[in-house]
Amino acid sequence: MKKTDKISYRQKSSQELEKLLLDATKKMVESRSKFATGNLKDTSVIKKVKYEIAYIKTLQTINKNEK
């Protein structure tokens, strides 16, 4: 994840973060199914998406605690 991505995620509202989390979760399911069938060439995608999901959840927790 690039530094610019992290900065843009921090500026998002809680509803936008929720939508991003849903999209990342869908991407994770697709990547895992492709991996299971042997169609995934770049397996590092799974690790990157897991990191993205964790980062979004962390930001949601931070936003919730600030309110």
Domains of the chain: 13-66 (1.10.287)
Q: What is the pTM of this model?
A: 0.90
pLDDT of residue 1: 83
Q: Tens place of pLDDT for every residue, the chain, 67 residues? A: 888 988 999 999 999 999 999 999 999 999 999 999 999 999 999 999 999 999 999 999 999 898 7
Predicted confidence at residue 67, as pLDDT, reads: 72
- Tell me the DSSP string of the chain: --HHHHHHHHTS-HHHHHHHHHHHHHHHHHHHHHHHHT--S-THHHHHHHHHHHHHHHHHHHHHHH-
